[in-house]
Structures are given as structure tokens and as C-alpha cells.
Amino acid sequence: MDGALPPPDTGAGCHGGRETMDAAARAAGKSATMDRLTKDYPRGPHDQPQSMCPAFGSLRVGLRMRRVATILSGSACCVYGLTFTSHFYGAKRSVGYVPFNSETLVTGKLFEDIREAVQLTAKPEDYDAVVVINLCVPTASGVPLDLLPKQIDGVRIIGIDVPGFGVPTHAEAKDVLAGAMLRYARTEAESGPVARPTKYVEGERSIALVGELFPADPVGIGMLLAPMGLTVAPQTPAREWRDLYAALDCVTVAAVHPFYTASLREFTAAGRPIVGSGPVGVEGTAAWLDAIGRSAGVSSDLIDAAKARALPAIAAAMAANPIKARITVSGYEGSELLVARLLIEAGAEVPYVGTACPRTEWSNADREWLEARGTHVQYRASLEQDCAAMMDAKPDLALGTTPLVQKAKELGIPALYFTNMVSARPLFGMMGAGSMAAIVAAQTKGRERFSRMVSFFSGVGTPDGAGYGFAGKPVDPPGFRERQKKLRAAQAKALEAVGT
């Protein structure tokens, strides 16, 4: 690396403010990277949804792939939190880490340390690829991962920047790595022969699914496609490197999760057409089969045969599992609009859908369908917007993030964590048709019980009601709150002066 990196003016790490960090990254030579992230993952209507560190998305994608090593470059506290979270969610392998201090960051020694770590890790007997992820401070400092070798002894080297000030949500960070891997695999395939994908069948016409889906869903989608002579390609994000070649070899791409902008760009570059939405409910499945069939050049007779086989069974399953409830839906997975469509077709009233993900052309069909039925769709929804919608709608059940679920239960409203309870169930085809009815029924039956609990525990544990043994409301000493506020401000200022 030529010369030394300019010292970053990053305040207190990722707490220095998005504008400050963005400016530092651009001053350090990352303008092209920041411009691409801004275009791929636009913010708004407010700055950024509340979420865990976005880099977790890229880390998760790498850790779920066979024969792929992941190395993080960032502040120690960030790496600790990301590693803890990854293992909490079931990662069973180590996460590499290249530590740094002010000297190694400013002099460029950090890049040399990263390159050495990559050299030591890239063993072809162990790995197909090594992924290096720059977190906030290395990105803002301009650590140039693009200068790493593209491969070492046949092991692919992929460096990406995933700063919290440039990637709004961890869901979109999955796309950052998935897109980078697809780009690498596409250039390999265009340059010459590549390794044969596992279970590859010559001449098979497949549909590539984009988005992390419940394991049973690709199987169900495969059953829907079979009458049209189509199969399901390996998903994106992939589980092993060879899956990328098989996905790129598809005839059509199904953007089930519509925010994978970088990944869809690579499929477009490979000449593959893209279809949005997904096969949810009767109407959604019929429209999706039509769109997929037309895109794949399937005859109308075969499309009709696929619908004739699937739709009656889905209609019967939904009729047998009706949902009579008022439900608000919010989350950060990217499937919120599809879940709302399924609920409405099953008989539910859904006045509000909030998603932390951005609006893209691939979600337009779902948005238009929902809005035609009186549902307000909020992209880049904040927690405050989700809570306000819930309190305004007064639903029988609220689906959302953990803080929304906490707020709902404080108000005596039954609620479920979207990621663990909704995303962990089939959504598509006949299996998805009846998947939501049982949990909705079980939760809405408990509303009266919630109301009694809220009444019984009213005031307990709240700031003025906390503690034990008080007969009356505790009274603060005069000026106590003001003194504490000034003390906290002084502590915060001292921490900023120290830096990271």
C-alpha cells in the first residue's frame, strides 16, 4: 500500500454520526463504495430503522456457507457483539478477527495485517473462499480491501465494506455479500469452465429463489413449478460456492425478498429475467405462476395445468383455516408484505404493514394489492411508526420486532415476534395456506387474560412504582433529576474525548 491512510475524523467510532463517518470514508477514498451503497439501499422517509448492527447480515451469510471463512475488521466491541450474536443464532465455526489500534489504522499497518491473515487462512484443503468484512471504522478510514489478492492457491478472496452508516439494515447486508459472491462466480463462469454444482442435472430448467426462506418453502415451490417442467435452483444467499453457478444457470429469477438489489443486478448482468412477489394464498399463487411461466417461456396450457393442480388445494386449506382477526404486521425480514397478503386472503383485516426494508420495483405488485384492500404499507418503518400504527389500529394481534412486542404486551395486546414465530413457518403454497391460522387463534384467545394481567399489575415496575416496601410514591430530592442529567452529559462528553 502506498503511503499512509489519513487519520479518520470519526468521533467515537460508529457513534460519531452517520454524516461524519460518511464524510470520513469519502475523504479516505471510499466515495465509489458509499455511492453504490446509497443507491442500492436508499434511506427514508427517516434516516435509518432501528436494528442490530447491519454487518450481522453479511456475517450470517458467510457463516452459513460450507468451506467459507469469515474475517472481521473493526472495533473490538463491535466484533465481540457480532460474534456473540452469530453464535446465539447457531453459528458453529470461528469468526476471524484482525485487531487494530490508532497507529496501525493510520499508518496502513492494519491492511498489511489483514493481508497476512488472509494468506494464513486461505488453504485450499479447508476453504473455497475467504470473506473479509470491513466494519465502520476501517471503512471510514479507507482500508482498501479491493487491493487484496483475488485468489490465493485457488481460494477466492472477497473483501466487502459493510458500515452501519452505509447499510441501513442487517437484511440488506445479506445482499452485500451475496451480490459480491454472485459477481465473482459470474465472472468465473464467463471466463471458462467451472466446477459442476452438486445435484446438477443437464438441461434442467430452473427458477432461482432470492431470499432466505423457511426450509420447507423451496420444496413447496418446487411442487408448484413441477407441472410447468421447471425446478428450483439453489437459493441466494447460497449454502456452498458451487450453488452460485447453479443459481446463475437459471431461466428466471424469483425475487421473493425484493430488496436484494446487488444480487438481482448480477442476475440481470447474466441475462436472467426477474419476477417479483411470491406464491402466497390463491390470488398470489395464481399471479406468480402466470408471471413465472411467461418469463420462462412456458406454454399457457402448462401454466393452466400448474394452477389447476395447486389452487384448489390452497383454497381448501385456507377455507379450513380461516383467520378472523384484526392484525398489524411489521418486521425487518423483507417478507412482511407477503405475510400480510396471506393473512388477508385467509380472512384477516390488516390495516398496517411496516417493513424496515426499502421500496423496490420487485415489491410493487404486493404493495398495490395491499393498498387496493385498504392496507397502509410503510417502507423503512421506524419503531415509533410501528407502535403508533398499532395503538391507532387496536389490533387483536400485533406481529413485529421485540420492542414492539414488548410495547404491545404492556398495553394488553397479544403480540408475536415476527422473526422467530412467523418467519419460522412455511409461507408459500398449500403448506403456507394454513400455517398462520393456529398461532393467530392461540394468541387472540389470550386477549382477555392479557387485560386481566395488565389491570392486576398496573403500576408495578414502572419508574415511580419500582422498589419494595414503599406505601406511597417515592419523591426525588430537590434538583436530583437535573443533577443526574448534567452528570450523564459530562460522562458522555468524556467518552467522546477518549474515542475508540
- Express each pLDDT in 307-323 by its tens digit: 999 999 999 999 998 99
Query: Comparing 61-75, 76-90, 241-255, 485-499, which segment has the lowest mean pLDDT?
Result: 485-499
Instruction: Flag whether pLDDT at 463 surpasses 80.
Output: no
Mean pLDDT of the chain: 88
Q: Are 278 and 191 in contact (CB under 8 A)?
A: no
Note the pTM of the prediction, 2 decimals: 0.84
Distances (CA, A) of 266 to 170, 181, 236, 250: 20, 10, 11, 13
Query: What is the structure's pLDDT at 469?
Result: 56
Is the pLDDT reported for residue 238 higher than 80? Answer: yes
Share of the chain above pLDDT 70, in %: 89
The predicted pLDDT at position 5 comes to: 40
**Domain with residues 321-455, CATH architecture:** 3-Layer(aba) Sandwich (3.40)
Q: Where in the chain is the domain with CATH 3.40.50.1980?
A: 13-168, 206-317, 321-455
CA distances (Å), origin 450, targets 168, 253, 328, 412, 413: 35, 44, 18, 5, 7
Q: What is the pLDDT of residue 465?
A: 53
What is the third-level CATH fold of 13-168?
Rossmann fold (3.40.50)
Given a contact cutoff of 8 angstroms between Cβ atoms, the answer to whether 204 and 229 are in contact is no
- Asked if the model's pLDDT at residue 155 lies above 90, the reply is yes
Q: Say how far apart CA 101 and CA 230 lie, in whole Å.
A: 54
Mean pLDDT of 228-247: 96
CB 160, CB 58: distance < 8 Å: yes
β-pair type (326-331, 274-276): unpaired
Model confidence band, residue 474 (pLDDT cutoffs 50, 70, 90): low
pLDDT class for 341, splitting at 50, 70, 90?
very high
For residues 20-25, give the mean pLDDT: 88
Q: Which stretch of 58-67, 89-98, 342-351 has the lowest confidence by average pLDDT?
A: 89-98
Q: Rank 28-37, 149-158, 409-418 by mean pLDDT and report only the highest.
A: 149-158
Q: How far is CA 24 from CA 5, 34, 85, 136, in A?
A: 11, 11, 28, 11
CATH class of the domain at 206-317: alpha beta
347-386 pLDDT tens trace: 999 999 999 999 999 999 999 999 999 999 999 998 999 9
pLDDT digits (tens, 9 = 90+) for 26-60: 988 899 999 999 899 888 665 666 777 899 999 99
Q: Provide the pLDDT for residue 10.
A: 40
- The mean per-residue pLDDT over the stretch 401-421 comes to 89
Q: What pLDDT sits at residue 42?
A: 87
